[in-house]
Chain A
C-alpha cells in the first residue's frame, strides 16, 4: 500500500491507500472518485484520466510517453505537470505523491 493524495474538482483532498502495481487511475476509481472518467479503461485512447501532478513530485515519475504526450496535447488544460493517470503505475517510490484531477475538457 502506498499513500497518495488526490484533490477533486471541488477542492476536497482525499488520502488514498493505493494498491501497488495497479495504475493510479485504477486506484482513484477504486476509491469511488468517479469524476475521473477514464472512459477507455487505461488503453491510452481517451485522455479522460488527466491529472496534474504537484510540481515537486514530478521528478519521481517516469517521463511522459510519446502517445501519452499526444493525447495530453489534445487537452486545453494541459500543463507541464500533466499526466495520464492510467500510465502511472503506483509503487512504494511514489509514497506521498500529490495529484489534482484536471478540469473537464470542454
Chain B
C-alpha cells in the first residue's frame, strides 16, 4: 500500500491544523489509519519552524511534535513532571504509581520492579504465553473468518497481566471493561462507568488484603512486601500499582499487536520476509512501535521554561506526540516508510528517559510469541474484504478490529482451552460485530 497523499484531503490542508490538533479524534485516512494526519502535522510544524505548538482543545495544551524537543523534555523530569502522565486526565481514584510519580518516589518504586521486567525476568512467561496463544488459535482455527484483533491481540495482554498480578486469567475481560471506564468511559458514559470503577477498586482492595494475609510469588506481592527506610507502601499506593499494571500492560499492547497483525494481513512483502527469517520479527515489532506508536505521553510543567523556541508557563500541560516525533525528518531517514532495516531504531514509541516503558521487554516478548505462532499456524491470513478493519482512536490507539479470512483447519486434538481462554473466546464472540 502506498502512503496516502495528505494534500488530497481538504481537512488536512486547513490553516488551523496545528491549533486544532486533536489526538483523541484524529482524521482517519483512506488507509484506515491516522498516519496521513500525523504526517501533515509534522510537515506543518516543520514549515512553521516550531516543533512545539499551543493547541486549543481540552482547555489548551502544548503539543510536542519534534524528536529533539521530545528528548530534551524527557531528560528533564525535574521541570517536566509525570504527576499528570495522561492527557486529558484519566478517571483515577488514586494517582498511578511509578508512571505518575516524580523523584525520589519514582526512582525507588521503579527500582523495586525493574528486575521483574528485565530481559531475564520476563523469560519465565514465554512458555505460558505460547500455550495461551496456541489455545486461542485452536479456538478460532476451524472458523476461517475471525476478528483477529479481538480474538488474539486483545486477550493475550489481559491474560498475562492477570497472571503477573497472581489473579485468575478469567479476569481478563473484566480488566478490559475497567480500562475503558477509566480511560474514556468517564467522558463518554459517566453514569455507566462509575459502578465499573467502583467495582475495580473493590476488587483490588480485596486482592491486596488477601495478598497481605496469604503472601504470593507474583509482582503485586513483591511490591506489597517491599520496605524502604522501614516504610511500606500505603494502601492507596498499592491501589495505584494495580491500576498501573492494568493500564500500562493491556491497552497499549493490544493496540500494538492489533495493528501489527493488520499490517501482516496485507503487507505480503513484510510477511514473506518474516516467514523466511524469523530473526526479523523483533525488528518488525520495533518498527511497528515507531511507525504506529500506540501511546501518547503527557507532562505537567513545574516552572516557566523554553523548549524549541517557545516559552511555556508553570502549570501548563504538554502532550508528547510519540507517533509524530517518530516521523521527524531530522531524526529518521524515510520516516514515512515502514523499514525493517532501520537499526538502531531510536524511536520514542516506548518513551524515553527514566519513565521509559517498564514493560519494554514484556511487549517485545508478547508480540514476538504471537507473531511466531500465528505465522506457523496461519501463514496466509488476509483481510476480509467484506468487513473493514477499524482504528480505535484515543490516548492509546491502534487497530481494534481486524477481520481476516484463512483456510479453516482442524484444531490440535490433544488440547482444550483453559478457563482464561474459554472466557475470552465466549466474551469476544458475544460482542456486536
Chain A residue at minimum C-beta to C-beta distance from B119? A70
In the complex, which residues 42-67 of chain B have their Cβ closer than 8 Å to any Cβ of chain A? Answer: none
A104 pairs with B344, CB closer than 8 A: yes
What's the Cα separation between A43 and B110 when bound, in Å?
Answer: 8
Q: Is A17 interfacial (CB 8 A cutoff)?
A: no
Given contacts A67-B120, A74-B119, A104-B344, contact A42 B114 (CB under 8 A): no
Q: Are B352 and A39 in contact (CB under 8 A)?
A: yes
User: Which of the residues B74, B119, B346, B355 comes within 8 Å of A71, measured between beta carbons?
Assistant: B119
Question: For chain A, what secondary structure do more than half of its interface residues adopt (helix, strand, loop), or is it mixed?
Answer: loop
Q: How many residues of A contact B (CB 8 A)?
A: 19
Q: Choose from A39, A71, A105 the contact partner of B118 (Cβ within 8 Å).
A: A71
Is B118 a contact of A67 with CB atoms below 8 Å?
A: yes
Indicate if B289 sits at the interface (CB-CB under 8 A): no
Does B343 count as interface, using CB distance less than 8 angstroms? yes
Q: Check A105–B344 contact: CB distance below 8 A.
A: yes
Contact between A70 and B120 (Cβ–Cβ < 8 Å)?
yes
The count of A-to-B residue pairs whose CB atoms sit within 8 angstroms is 54
B243 → A minimal CB distance (Å): 21
- Separation of A66 and B354 alpha carbons in the complex (Å): 20
Most buried by A among B74, B343, B352: B352
Please state if B353 and A40 are interface contacts (CB–CB under 8 Å). yes
Q: Is A63 located at the chain interface by the 8 A CB criterion?
A: no
A18-70 with Cβ < 8 A to chain B: 29, 37, 39-46, 48, 66-67, 70
B174 interface residue, CB < 8 Å from A? no
Interface centre among B110, B114, B115, B356 (most CB of A within 10 A): B356
- A42 to B346 Cα, complex, angstroms: 16
Kindly state the separation between the CA atoms of A43 and B114 in the bound complex, as whole angstroms: 7
Choose among A29, A43, A70, A106 the residue with the greatest number of B CB atoms under 10 Å from its CB.
A43
How far is A105 from B346 in the complex, measured between Cα atoms in Å? 11
Contact A45 B117 (CB under 8 A): yes
Chain A residue numbers with a CB within 8 Å of B74 are 41
Q: Does B91 contact A (CB under 8 A)?
A: no
Q: How far is the CB of A106 from chain B (nearest CB, A)?
A: 5
A80 to B107, CA, bound (A): 30
Kindly list the 9 A-B residue pairs having the minimum CB-CB distance in the complex, ordered from nearest: A41-B354, A41-B353, A70-B120, A40-B356, A67-B118, A70-B119, A104-B344, A106-B343, A67-B115
